Amino acid sequence: MLKKKDKKIFKRKNIKLQNLKIGNLEHFDEEDIIEEKRAEKKLIEKGETSSKSFLNLKKGRILEVKTNHRCIVKIENKKILCSLSGRLKQINFETRTLVAPGDYVNVNVSDDPRIEEILPRKNALSRFSISDFQTEIVLASNIDQVVITSSFKEPELKTGLIDRYICAVRIFGLLPVICINKIDLAKDIQTIKAKLEFYTKNNFEIIYTSAKNNVGIEKLRNMVKGKDTVFSGHSGAGKSSLINLLQPGLDLKVAEISDFSQKGIHTTSSGRLIEWNFGGYLIDTPGIKTFGLHRKDKEKIPRIFPGFGTLAETCKFQNCTHIHEKNCSVKAALENGSLPIERYDSYLRIMGSL
Ligand SMILES: Nc1nc2c(ncn2[C@@H]2O[C@H](COP(=O)(O)OP(=O)(O)OP(=O)(O)O)[C@@H](O)[C@H]2O)c(=O)[nH]1
Ligand SMILES: [Mg+2]
Ligand SMILES: [Zn+2]
């Protein structure tokens, strides 16, 4: 065995390998890898390469997370079951949700594919677990938009609920889109539009649909095409009906995905990404109904409540809550009639509930 010092000299002099005994050769290899890593580290510090360039890494996207940190990852149009590298599992000890559907990852593609890196998330939809106090569970990540689905009737359209959803969606850094379904139950579309005038004025995108009469579906499809979308909204609004119209037979596809998982692999509590045949992903998350506002986000509401953003900029106090402060632009708008009282009421109800 060569001593460490000798090995250094040996390396420097670039002595040929054939002069070494097998045992030394093994040792040399190890040392070589360490050297390689050191060189690699220097390159990374200079920002010249990825940290894992010596592995056969391929970028992919997590579609679904199974138990034991096994994930279905889409890599170059194939769905591959991958596990997490040991190093990443250790990190998992501190942060519960290490991988989530939607995450972009670098996978070492081999006989036993392993996720070596998780790329930074653009955004994430999460909820807090009930059993484990204050543990944040990431349901899905890197999402483009949330379609807030509401029915005009059955159940009755409630703008207060839309406001809550908009606030929650914005807190997660996502784009809210409003979809009013069951317009077949209205006498005329003007009645509905009048109810939502405030949102239109404030540049919210609204789509009117009837899953029953196949109205507005093409428009909705164009809106979700090529994007990653979550459909949220209260039970019975018509989310499933709309999704089925957007891609008939998608339910079948859903079943195919679960077939892909072999015996004993169960889906964890987070969601999954389902690819539309016209491009983009539908993000299916079981926790979506419980995704809501958290007390810790209360201070953000005065600036993200629909229509309050620009007004809040001219309030005297930067952290104005628009409740008890003087020289408040929101209250001024309320007094001069440019802000409808029901908007302010909705705001107060949300603030009061947190
Ligand atoms: N009149 C009318 N009924 C509809 C329309 N869309 C859906 N429905 C009906 O509304 C009910 C609920 O629709 P779903 O698609 O199951 O609603 P959902 O939002 O998926 O509900 P959850 O899965 O419980 O969250 C069903 O009985 C549908 O047939 C529509 O455009 N007009
Ligand atoms: Mg449904
Ligand atoms: Zn104010």
Encode pLDDT of 92-130 as tens digits.
555 566 899 999 999 999 888 999 999 999 998 887 766
Q: Whose CA is nearest to atom 8 of ligand 1?
A: 238
Residue 192 and residue 241 in one domain = yes
Q: What pTM was computed for the model?
A: 0.80
Pick from 284, 288, 259, 261: nearest CA to 273: 284
CA of 155 to the centre of ligand 3 (A): 33
Pick from 347, 305, 50: nearest CA to 169: 305
Distances (CA, A) of 180 to 155, 213, 237, 288, 291: 12, 14, 9, 18, 20
CB within 8 Å of 178: residues ≥ 6 apart: 147, 148, 150, 162, 196, 199, 204, 205, 206, 207
In a domain, 210, yes or no: yes
Q: Which domain holds residue 110?
A: 57-120
Local structure of 287: helix, strand or coil: helix
Residue 258 and residue 180 in one domain = yes
Residue 130 to residue 125: CA distance in whole angstroms: 16
- Quick one: which ligand is closest to 321's CA? 3
Classify residue 77 by its DSSP letter.
T
Residue 82 and residue 160 in one domain = no
Q: Whose CA is nearest to atom 25 of ligand 1?
A: 235
Residue 155 and residue 282 in one domain = yes
Instruction: Please give all residues whose beta carbon lies within 6 A of any atom in ligand 1, as ranges.
Output: 181-182, 184-185, 210-212, 235-241
In a domain, 23, yes or no: no
Residue 90 to residue 228: CA distance in whole angstroms: 30
Lowest mean pLDDT among 164-168, 261-265, 338-342: 261-265
Encode pLDDT of 35-76 as tens digits.
555 655 555 455 444 555 567 899 999 999 888 789 999 999
| Cα dihedral sign, 107-108-114-120 | negative
CA of 155 to the centre of ligand 1 (A): 10
Best residue for ligand 1 mutational test, from 157, 240, 244, 254 (most atoms within 8 Å of Cβ): 240
Whole-number pLDDT of residue 34: 53
Residue 306 to residue 164: CA distance in whole angstroms: 9
Residue 193 and residue 210 in one domain = yes
In a domain, 254, yes or no: yes
Residue 239 and residue 271 in one domain = yes
Query: What are the tokens at 192?
Result: 């509905």
Q: How confident is the model at residue 240 (pLDDT cuts 50, 70, 90)?
A: confident
Residue 209 and residue 265 in one domain = yes
Atom of ligand 1 nearest to the CA of 242: 15
> How many domains does the structure of the chain reveal?
3
Residue 313 to residue 320: CA distance in whole angstroms: 9
Lowest mean pLDDT among 1-15, 268-282, 321-335: 1-15
Residue 145 and residue 245 in one domain = yes
Cβ neighbours of 31 (radius 10 Å): 16
CA of 316 to the centre of ligand 2 (A): 45
